[in-house]
């Protein structure tokens, strides 16, 4: 209820959105009691609006607003009188924003839209539609002007005005509601009244003229752009061709420059070799001066070598004597070492036996000490003093003590003897060690003397090898001096010949560079000729393509015996017939430009000429050159370059060639161009089946 009334209020008052009416209702609810359900209703009349606030079917507040008393203000305030019994009467303040005065637009209101809104224009709509259909033969879009159901609160409805009418198409126009269309019609009618009909038509004509001019300019510009694109593509293709030619020429120039550079490098290497030879000669001269000093050194080294050989013999004799003496001393030392080792082993055995006896004596002394301690314990016992056997025990004690004393004396003596023996053994051991140390010192001195003699021998051998090497060096020096003298003689003889060879090679290199330049010029001329010939070949290929399309291969009709016989005859010929046979009717053919009649007599083909008949072989021999001459004349008239391209295949282009030879050459070119077909081209004007 609230939503429908608020929408109606918007349509009447022209409010901007339903949020204002919702604000009015919310303001009413905040001023009434809390925790109660309220509803707002609006009673609309042509002159006023009555507001009612209802709670549980009881009117809580009401108020009215006169539409005629509204001014052109942006805000109005409405006071509602509350009728609550529990509380005193109070007023509810309602603020309405954005209210449009309806009285100003009554004069501009369209009567047709008023009839539509009241629902009294059904007959008028049907009549208008019938008149529209009669006047316009095109399709007519039906637009419903009936009021639609009002939209819900919160939904956005797109409003079309003068600025965005260009977005409105037929699909969107059909989807627009009746109320919105009424508004748009009203806006358009107001704009038309302000502007007038004549300016609108003039403006429409101007727009149409502008559209026509713009479309014509666009077409002209498209044509101009197409022509410009074609010209640019042609220029680009020509530029690429020139660029390829330039790259080829530059590649050749770079190759020639590389060759010249290689020749310069070879000249530089030869000059370097010559300088190296001169440097070697100077070094050889310096070596020669040095080798003279080496000769003097060689003589002094020879005398030194003889003296060293003599000294080596004396050193060998001394070394042999020292070696013999060292061997004898070594044998004596070995014997002494064995003797000392045996004595040490004997002393070691004696020490083991003494140590064993000492251990036994120590154990015996320990036993005696234990017995003595027992006796002392017994003597210290008081009970034994009062016993009758004391005298006997004392006697035994004295006897035991005497025995013990004797044993102690014996043990002491034995201990002294063992100590003396141990001391004597230690003295013998020390003496033997001293003797052994002396022997080791003697042996070390002898070994040192042997090592010194070995060192002297090593030094003498090194001196001997040095002398031998110096002798070998002197021999090599003498050989080098001989080879240097020979090399100097050879260089003196070959210097002049080498200089002459260098002069000749330099002159040859200069000649080769001149020849290379001439060859480069010739290559450039050849490349230009190749480009010209390629253009001629392309032209000939185009002519051959036209010939292939113009003259298809001869295919006979199987139901015509004359056509089959003519096909068999053409296939049996050793050389192809340059002029084609074209069938018009049964027995009537065209031979080039000549119309002939053929028939079969005894299985042979005859051709009527004048009043008689002749064989096909004679006819071909007579009329083939005539027809070829005619075709050449026709081709020369249509393609003047054909004669020059035809003359290219002969040795003398000025004289040309015979038609038969030209036809054979063109026939070969066509056979090469054809891809694997069994048909063989007989002339530049047609193809005929090849002979199987």
pLDDT at 364 over 50: yes
Query: Can you tell me the distance from the alpha carbon of 319 to that of 478, in angstroms, rounded to the nearest whole number?
Result: 37
Are the CB atoms for 664 and 674 separated by under 8 Å? no
Where does a domain end: 105, 127, 162?
105
- Integer angstrom CA distances of residue 99 from 15, 21, 71, 95, 331: 6, 11, 9, 11, 149
What is the pLDDT at residue 55? Answer: 55
pLDDT-wise least confident of 262-276, 412-426, 587-601, 668-682 = 668-682
- Confirm whether 679 is domain-assigned: yes
How many domains, in total, are found in the chain? 2
Summarize the confidence of residues 335-361 as an average pLDDT: 78
pLDDT-wise least confident of 150-164, 298-312, 425-439, 630-644 = 150-164
pLDDT at 151 over 60: no
Q: Which residues contact 63 (CB under 8 A, 6 or more apart)?
A: 50, 51, 78, 79, 80, 81, 92, 94
Query: Can you tell me the distance from the alpha carbon of 123 to that of 143, in angstroms, rounded to the nearest whole number?
Result: 16
- Confirm whether 674 is domain-assigned: yes
Confidence class for position 682, pLDDT limits 50, 70, 90: very low
pLDDT at 474 over 80: no
- Integer angstrom CA distances of residue 91 from 25, 87, 94, 252, 359: 15, 12, 10, 109, 142
Q: Which residues contact 619 (CB under 8 A, 6 or more apart)?
A: 591, 596, 607, 609
What is the pLDDT at residue 646? Answer: 55
Tens digit of pLDDT for each residue in 78-100?
554 444 434 444 445 444 443 44
What is the pLDDT at residue 455? Answer: 83
- Confirm whether 50 is domain-assigned: yes
- Confirm whether 73 is domain-assigned: yes
Are the CB atoms for 82 and 89 separated by under 8 Å? yes
Packing angle between helix 616-638 and helix 659-673, nearest 10 degrees? 80
> How many residues are recorded in the chain?
692
What is the pLDDT at residue 30? Answer: 43
Structure tokens given for 287: 């070596």
pLDDT at 391 over 80: no
Q: Which residues contact 645 (CB under 8 A, 6 or more apart)?
A: 536, 539, 540
Are the CB atoms for 308 and 470 separated by under 8 Å? no
Look up tokens 């403006």; give the residue: 203
Helix (H) or strand (E) segment spanning residue 552: none
What is the pLDDT at residue 108? Answer: 46
pLDDT-wise least confident of 71-75, 523-527, 554-558 = 71-75
Confidence class for position 14, pLDDT limits 50, 70, 90: very low
- Integer angstrom CA distances of residue 191 from 173, 183, 184, 200: 20, 12, 10, 10
- Confirm whether 204 is domain-assigned: no
What is the pLDDT at residue 206? Answer: 82
What is the pLDDT at residue 73? Answer: 43
Summarize the confidence of residues 403-415 as an average pLDDT: 79
Are the CB atoms for 185 and 217 separated by under 8 Å? no
Confidence class for position 53, pLDDT limits 50, 70, 90: low
Q: Which residues contact 378 (CB under 8 A, 6 or more apart)?
A: 384, 393
Where does a domain end: 66, 90, 105?
105
pLDDT-wise least confident of 188-202, 375-389, 545-559 = 375-389
Query: Can you tell me the distance from the alpha carbon of 687 to that of 577, in angstroms, rounded to the nearest whole number?
Result: 10
Share of the chain above pLDDT 70, in %: 60
What is the pLDDT at residue 215? Answer: 84
Q: Which residue has the higher pLDDT, 420 or 112?
A: 420
* Cα-based torsion angle of the residue sequence 100, 104, 108, 114 in order, rounded to the nearest 10 degrees: 60
Tens digit of pLDDT for each residue in 110-119?
555 555 555 5
Please report how many Cα atoms fall inside a 13 Å half-sphere around the Cα of residue 503, on the Cβ side: 6
What is the pLDDT at residue 15? Answer: 39
pLDDT at 164 over 80: no
Structure tokens given for 255: 């190759």
pLDDT at 285 over 80: no
Query: In terms of residue numbers, what domain contains 583?
Result: 551-689
- Confirm whether 408 is domain-assigned: no
- Integer angstrom CA distances of residue 204 from 199, 200, 207: 8, 6, 5
User: In Å, how far from its chain's centre is CA 607?
Assistant: 76
Query: Can you tell me the distance from the alpha carbon of 270 to that of 506, in angstroms, rounded to the nearest whole number?
Result: 10
- Integer angstrom CA distances of residue 238 from 215, 233, 418, 505: 34, 9, 135, 46
Hey, how many other C-beta atoms are within 10 angstroms of the C-beta on 424?
Answer: 11
Instruction: Please tell me which of 275-289, 463-477, 615-629 the model is most confident about, judged by mean pLDDT.
Output: 615-629
Q: Which residue has the higher pLDDT, 177 or 454?
A: 454
Query: Can you tell me the distance from the alpha carbon of 181 to that of 141, in angstroms, rounded to the nearest whole number?
Result: 14
| Share of the chain residues as helix, strand and coil, in percent rounded to the nearest 5 | 70, 10, 20
pLDDT at 236 over 80: yes
Structure tokens given for 231: 């010209």
Q: Which residues contact 344 (CB under 8 A, 6 or more apart)?
A: 429, 432
Structure tokens given for 173: 């126009």
Query: Can you tell me the distance from the alpha carbon of 201 to that of 191, in angstroms, rounded to the nearest whole number?
Result: 14
Summarize the confidence of residues 354-368 as an average pLDDT: 78
Hey, how many other C-beta atoms are within 10 angstroms of the C-beta on 685?
Answer: 22
Query: Can you tell me the distance from the alpha carbon of 540 to that of 534, in angstroms, rounded to the nearest whole number?
Result: 10
Q: Which residue has the higher pLDDT, 88 or 156?
A: 156
Within the chain, what is the greatest distance between any pair of CA atoms?
Answer: 208
- Any idea what DSSP says for residue 291? H
- Confirm whether 487 is domain-assigned: no
Are the CB atoms for 453 and 318 separated by under 8 Å? yes
The rounded mean pLDDT for the chain is 69
Query: Can you tell me the distance from the alpha carbon of 586 to that of 584, in angstroms, rounded to the nearest whole number?
Result: 7
pLDDT at 676 over 70: no
pLDDT-wise least confident of 84-88, 418-422, 504-508 = 84-88
Structure tokens given for 197: 């009909």
Confidence class for position 29, pLDDT limits 50, 70, 90: very low
- According to DSSP, the residues that pair with 596 across neighbouring strands are 589
Instruction: Please tell me which of 69-73, 256-260, 399-403 the model is most confident about, judged by mean pLDDT.
Output: 256-260
- Confirm whether 5 is domain-assigned: yes
Tens digit of pLDDT for each residue in 516-539?
888 888 888 888 888 888 888 887
Are the CB atoms for 614 and 607 separated by under 8 Å? yes
What is the pLDDT at residue 160? Answer: 64
Are the CB atoms for 192 and 200 separated by under 8 Å? yes
Q: Which residues contact 573 (CB under 8 A, 6 or more apart)?
A: 691
Where does a domain end: 72, 105, 138?
105
pLDDT-wise least confident of 181-195, 210-224, 353-367, 459-473 = 181-195
Summarize the confidence of residues 255-272 as an average pLDDT: 85
Structure tokens given for 235: 């220029």
């Amino acid at each position: 209820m609230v939503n429908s009334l608020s929408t109606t209020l918007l349509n009447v008052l022209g409010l901007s959105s339903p949020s204002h009416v919702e604000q009015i209702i919310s303001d009413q609810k905040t001023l009434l009691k809390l925790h109660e359900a309220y509803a707002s209703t609006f009673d609309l009349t042509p002159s006023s609006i009555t507001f009612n606030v209802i709670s549980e079917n009881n009117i809580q507040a009401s108020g009215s607003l006169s539409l005629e008393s509204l001014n052109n203000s942006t805000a109005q305030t409405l006071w509602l009188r509350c009728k609550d019994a529990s509380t005193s009467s109070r007023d509810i303040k309602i603020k309405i924003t954005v209210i449009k005065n309806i009285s100003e637009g009554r004069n501009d209101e369209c009567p047709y839209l008023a009839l539509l809104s009241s629902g009294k224009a059904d007959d008028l709509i049907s009549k208008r539609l019938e008149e529209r259909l009669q006047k316009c033969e095109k399709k007519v879009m039906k637009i419903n002007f009936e009021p639609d159901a009002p939209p819900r609160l919160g939904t956005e409805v797109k409003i079309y005005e003068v600025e965005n009418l260009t977005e409105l198409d037929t699909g969107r126009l059909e989807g627009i509601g009746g109320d919105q269309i009424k508004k748009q019609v009203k806006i358009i009618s107001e704009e038309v009244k302000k502007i007038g009909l004549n300016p609108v038509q003039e403006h429409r004509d101007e727009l149409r003229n502008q559209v026509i001019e713009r479309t014509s300019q666009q077409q002209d510009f498209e044509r101009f752009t197409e022509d410009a694109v074609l010209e640019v593509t042609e220029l680009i293709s020509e530029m690429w061709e020139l660029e390829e030619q330039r790259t080829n020429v530059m590649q050749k120039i770079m190759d020639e420059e590389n060759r010249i550079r290689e020749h310069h490098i070879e000249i530089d290497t030869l000059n370097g070799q010559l300088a190296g030879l001169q440097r070697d000669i100077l070094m050889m001269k310096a070596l020669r001066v040095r080798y003279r000093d080496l000769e003097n050194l060689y003589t002094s080294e020879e005398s030194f070598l003889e003296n060293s050989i003599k000294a080596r013999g004396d050193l060998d004799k001394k070394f042999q004597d020292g070696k013999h003496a060292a061997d004898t001393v070594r044998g004596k030392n070995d014997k002494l070492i064995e003797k000392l080792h045996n004595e040490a082993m004997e002393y070691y055995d004696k020490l083991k036996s003494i140590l064993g006896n000492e251990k036994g004596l120590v154990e015996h002394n320990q036993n005696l000490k234990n017995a003595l301690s027992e006796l002392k314990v017994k003597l210290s016992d008081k009970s034994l003093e009062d016993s009758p056997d004391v005298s006997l025990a004392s006697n035994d004690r004295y006897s035991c003590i005497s025995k013990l004393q004797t044993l102690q004396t014996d043990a002491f003596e034995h201990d002294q003897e063992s100590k003396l023996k141990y001391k004597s053994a230690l003295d013998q051991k020390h003496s033997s060690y001293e003797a052994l140390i002396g022997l080791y010192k003697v042996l070390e001195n002898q070994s040192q003397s042997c090592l010194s003699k070995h060192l002297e021998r090593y030094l003498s051998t090194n001196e001997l090898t040095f002398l031998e090497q110096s002798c070998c060096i002197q021999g090599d020096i003498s050989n080098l001096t001989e080879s240097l003298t020979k090399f100097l003689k050879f260089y003196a003889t070959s210097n002049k010949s080498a200089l002459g060879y260098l002069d000749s090679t330099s002159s040859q290199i200069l000649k080769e560079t001149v020849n290379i330049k001439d060859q480069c010029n010739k290559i450039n001329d050849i490349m230009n000729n190749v480009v010209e010939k390629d253009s001629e070949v392309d032209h000939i290929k185009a002519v051959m393509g036209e010939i292939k399309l113009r003259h298809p291969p001869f295919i006979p009709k199987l139901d015509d015996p004359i056509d089959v016989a003519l096909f068999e005859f053409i296939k049996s010929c050793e050389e192809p017939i340059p002029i084609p046979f074209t069938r018009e009717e049964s027995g009537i053919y065209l031979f080039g430009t000549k119309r002939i009649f053929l028939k079969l007599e005894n299985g042979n083909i005859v051709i009527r000429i004048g009043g008689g008949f002749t064989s096909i072989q004679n006819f071909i021999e007579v009329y083939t050159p005539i027809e070829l001459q005619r075709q050449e004349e026709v081709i020369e008239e249509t393609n003047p370059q054909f004669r020059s391209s035809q003359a290219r295949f002969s040795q003398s282009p000025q004289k040309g060639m015979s038609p038969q030879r030209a036809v054979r050459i063109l026939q070969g070119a066509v056979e090469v161009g054809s891809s694997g077909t069994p048909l063989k081209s007989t002339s530049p004007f047609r193809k005929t089946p090849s002979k199987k």
